């Protein structure tokens, strides 16, 4: 990741080194100038030093600006690269691989943990590299002037730049590992409070949820206070070493009889200023520990194995006339004790419509996920036009097999933009045509803003039926050859649900369709009904055939159509 921006990083380090060397030279030259001026020499003897002070002061400011510019440019570019890689890693995980993470935790990884890369570049790599070079130059210069003082300076710099940070590492390592998860936990608590406020209030659980959030905040505050205390103690220790080393070098310089008097303040100030790039190593170590913990969380996402492996050389995208076939397909989720789908056979020719019914947990949604290539079958084969679906690119499969998922999401934007998610180049006439098929055109036309009406977060500003119909309009706008409808009536009242099913069957006439539902209304309009139980097909046939024989389908039918009470 940083390798791609190595040139900018080297430029930032070089500018930082020149800045600190200019500061070192500025203080040394200024000290020599003041000491020499006290001896009242001719002005010509001071002219070079005067020019040097001006040059070093100017260079310090110019190169400091360059270091900030190059350092942040490298950091922000690395940040953008990593964030893009994290997003690219999340896309193949959706939707089957994402339940392993909570949404707030994922958001924390994509924002806070990824931003730790900026600290790694600006507050760790650049300061450490600068401190090593400047410390070496300072010790080398001191060795040329007074070798015993160079030994003392080297020891002091090693104590402040190596020993103190290492002691701090041992004290702060455990706390640093817990900071990122603690921030994620606090984000999760706040997310639950925001999205679940109505349910919490309805069941009188708001106070407990607030208490849990406050406890999470207190845990994070304790960790951050501990981190701040450790960093402060480390900084104080380094500053004590700085002061002691400066005093020791000054004493040695005063005691050195062979040393010119003007060089005593020079050595003293060089020793003092040489610690300036070393002191930031204490907070840099703390940032490094936090960045490592954050990077581990980011790498966990980058290294997560996608539930579906894309082929190295995919087949060309299929055309519009597609035949889908499932042959003895079984699906078992990781760590599950049994198959979610067990040995299912299904054939879907162009224009054929199939309803899949069953109780909750019978494997209906898993079957659709397998058809859309969101999950791989653990046994059996899914064929698309006679070819294994695994030989096609996943996006090509979903271009011909898509629809309305059980938890179809409406984004916090306008109706227009929500629909154009399926076809970005769609015209207003195309959008209105899709809304007409979903029986929403009159409603949208009656709105003051029309297609530019905001639907709210998750479609919260429209009714449940309108939300489902908007999702249907979006699926129809994509115009797939095979339409999948996963529990499109979930959460709707019976009358609205029955009306929506009737509209769905009417608008998908002539299209290959798979309707997953627990409601049996209108299923006399499909070509075949498949009944699932515990992942297995226990019945199949037309609605009229199944309702006439004893079995699970008849039981479901009479459960939803109770016989009238006898008088």
Query: What does the pLDDT read at residue 88?
Result: 82
Query: What does the pLDDT read at residue 417?
Result: 92
- Of 391 and 492, which is predicted with more confidence? 391
Domains located in the chain, CATH noted: 3-302 (1.20.1560.10), 324-560 (3.40.50.300)
Q: How far is CA 379 from CA 258, 323, 331, 333, 495, in A?
A: 88, 20, 7, 12, 40
Query: What does the pLDDT read at residue 97?
Result: 62
Query: What does the pLDDT read at residue 567?
Result: 40
322, 315 Cβ separation under 8 angstroms: no
Mean pLDDT for 35-43 is: 88
Query: What does the pLDDT read at residue 395?
Result: 86
Q: What confidence category does residue 566 fall into, taking pLDDT thresholds of 50, 70 and 90? A: very low
CB-based contacts of 27: which residues, under 8 Å, 6+ apart?
269, 270, 272, 273
H or E segment to which residue 295 belongs: helix 281-302
CB-based contacts of 20: which residues, under 8 Å, 6+ apart?
130, 134, 276, 277
Within 13 Å and on the Cβ side, how many CA atoms surround 212?
14
171 pLDDT exceeds 50? yes
In Å, how far from its chain's centre is CA 153? 46
Q: Which of 141-155, 424-438, 503-517, 550-564 has the lowest mean pLDDT?
A: 550-564
Distance between start and end Cα atoms, the chain: 78
Mean pLDDT for 524-549 is: 89
Give the whole-number percent of the chain exceeding pLDDT 90. Answer: 27
Whose tokens are 């009479």? That residue is 558
Tell me the C-alpha distance between 63 and 471, whole Å. 56
Strand pairing class (324-331; 379-384): antiparallel
| 460-495: b (≥16 Cβ within 10 Å) or e | eebebbbbbbbbbbbbbbbbbbbbbbbbbbeebeee
Q: 343-390, pLDDT tens digit by residue?
A: 999 999 988 999 999 888 888 888 988 888 888 898 999 999 889 998
Q: 253-276, pLDDT tens digit by residue?
A: 988 877 888 999 999 999 999 999
| 529-554: b (≥16 Cβ within 10 Å) or e | bbbbbebbbebbbebeebbeeeebbe
The dihedral of CA 192, 193, 195, 197: what is its sign? positive
Query: What does the pLDDT read at residue 106?
Result: 75
H or E segment to which residue 228 belongs: helix 206-255
Tell me the C-alpha distance between 476 and 470, whole Å. 10
Q: What confidence category does residue 135 fall into, taking pLDDT thresholds of 50, 70 and 90? A: very high
66 token code pair: 């360059």
- Of 190 and 429, which is predicted with more confidence? 429
2 pLDDT exceeds 70? no
565 pLDDT exceeds 50? no
Give, as one character, the DSSP assignment of residue 41: -
**Helices assigned H by DSSP within 196-205:** 197-202
Q: 233-242, pLDDT tens digit by residue?
A: 888 999 999 9
Residue-by-residue DSSP string for 415-434: HHHHHHTT-TT--HHHHHHH
Tell me the C-alpha distance between 47 and 52, whole Å. 9
Tell me the C-alpha distance between 434 and 415, whole Å. 12
462, 438 Cβ separation under 8 angstroms: no
Strand pairing class (324-331; 341-348): antiparallel
Mean pLDDT for 451-471 is: 84
- Of 262 and 181, which is predicted with more confidence? 262
488 token code pair: 């499109």
- Of 303 and 142, which is predicted with more confidence? 142
- Of 204 and 49, which is predicted with more confidence? 49
- Of 382 and 469, which is predicted with more confidence? 382
Residue-by-residue DSSP string for 230-288: HHHHHHHHHHHHHHHHHHHHHHHHHH-TTS-TTHHHHHHHHHHHTTTTTTTHHHHHHHH
Q: Which of 409-423, 437-451, 474-488, 491-505 has the lowest mean pLDDT?
A: 491-505
Mean pLDDT for 284-292 is: 78
517 pLDDT exceeds 60? yes
85 pLDDT exceeds 50? yes
What is the widest separation between alpha-carbon atoms in the chain? 127
Residue-by-residue DSSP string for 445-484: HHSTTGGG-B--GGGTTS-HHHHHHHHHHHHHHH--SEEE
Q: Which of 130-139, 219-228, 289-298, 506-515 has the lowest mean pLDDT?
A: 289-298
Q: 86-115, pLDDT tens digit by residue?
A: 888 877 777 666 666 666 677 777 777 787
CB-based contacts of 514: which residues, under 8 Å, 6+ apart?
348, 353, 354, 355, 356, 368, 371, 403, 482, 483, 484, 485
Query: What does the pLDDT read at residue 491?
Result: 63
483, 475 Cβ separation under 8 angstroms: yes
3 state SS of 171: helix
């Amino acid at each position: 990741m940083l390798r791609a921006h190595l040139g900018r990083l080297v430029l930032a380090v070089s500018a930082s080194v020149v800045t600190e060397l200019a500061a070192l030279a500025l203080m040394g030259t200024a000290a020599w100038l003041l000491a020499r001026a006290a001896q009242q020499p001719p002005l010509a003897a001071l002219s070079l030093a005067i020019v040097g002070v001006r040059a070093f002061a100017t260079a310090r400011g110019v190169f400091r600006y360059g270091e900030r510019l190059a350092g942040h440019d490298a950091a922000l570019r690395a940040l953008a690269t990593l964030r893009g890689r994290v997003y690219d890693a999340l896309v193949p995980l959706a939707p089957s691989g994402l339940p392993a993470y909570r949404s707030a935790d994922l958001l924390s990884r994509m924002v806070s943990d990824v931003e730790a890369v900026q600290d790694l570049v600006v507050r760790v790599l650049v300061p450490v590299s600068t401190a090593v070079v400047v410390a070496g130059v300072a010790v080398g210069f001191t060795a040329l002037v007074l070798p015993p003082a160079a030994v003392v300076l080297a020891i002091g710099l090693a104590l402040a730049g190596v020993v103190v940070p290492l002691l701090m590492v041992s004290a702060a390592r455990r706390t640093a590992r817990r900071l990122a998860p603690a921030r994620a936990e606090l984000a999760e608590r706040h997310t639950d409070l925001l999205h679940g406020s109505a349910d919490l209030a309805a069941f009188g659980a708001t106070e407990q949820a607030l208490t849990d959030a406050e406890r999470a905040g207190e845990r994070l505050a304790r960790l951050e206070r501990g981190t701040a205390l450790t960093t402060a103690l480390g900084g104080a220790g380094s500053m004590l070493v700085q002061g002691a080393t400066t005093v020791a070098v000054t004493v040695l310089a005063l005691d050195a009889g062979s040393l010119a008097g003007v060089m005593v303040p020079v050595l003293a100030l060089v020793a003092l200023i040489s610690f300036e790039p070393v002191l930031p190593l204490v907070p840099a170590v703390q940032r490094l520990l936090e960045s490592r913990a954050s990077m581990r969380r980011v790498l966990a996402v980058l290294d997560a194995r996608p539930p579906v492996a894309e082929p190295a050389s995919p087949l060309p995208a299929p055309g519009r006339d597609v035949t889908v076939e499932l042959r003895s397909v079984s699906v078992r989720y990781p760590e599950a004790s049994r198959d979610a789908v067990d040995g299912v056979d299904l054939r879907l020719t162009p224009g054929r419509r199939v309803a899949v019914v069953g109780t909750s947990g019978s494997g209906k949604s898993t079957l659709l996920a397998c058809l859309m290539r969101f999950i791989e079958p653990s046994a059996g084969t899914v064929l698309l036009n006679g070819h294994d679906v695994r030989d096609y690119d996943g996006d090509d499969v979903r271009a011909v097999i898509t629809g309305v998922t059980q938890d179809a999401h409406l984004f916090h934007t306008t109706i227009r933009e929500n629909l154009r998610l399926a076809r970005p180049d769609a015209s207003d006439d195309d959008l209105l045509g899709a809304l007409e098929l979903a029986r929403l055109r009159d409603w949208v036309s009656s709105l003051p803003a029309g297609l530019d009406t905001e639907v709210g977060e998750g479609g919260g500003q429209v009714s449940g039926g309108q939300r489902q119909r908007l999702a249907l309009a979006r699926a129809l706008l994509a115009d797939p050859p095979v339409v999948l409808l996963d529990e499109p009536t979930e959460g709707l009242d019976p009358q609205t649900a029955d009306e929506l099913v009737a509209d769905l069957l009417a608008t998908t006439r002539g299209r290959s369709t798979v309707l997953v539902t627990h409601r049996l209304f209108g299923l006399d309009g499909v070509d075949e009904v498949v009944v699932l139980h515990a992942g297995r097909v226990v019945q199949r046939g037309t609605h009229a055939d199944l309702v006439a024989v004893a079995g699970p389908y008849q039981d479901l039918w009479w459960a939803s159509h109770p016989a009238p009470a006898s008088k």
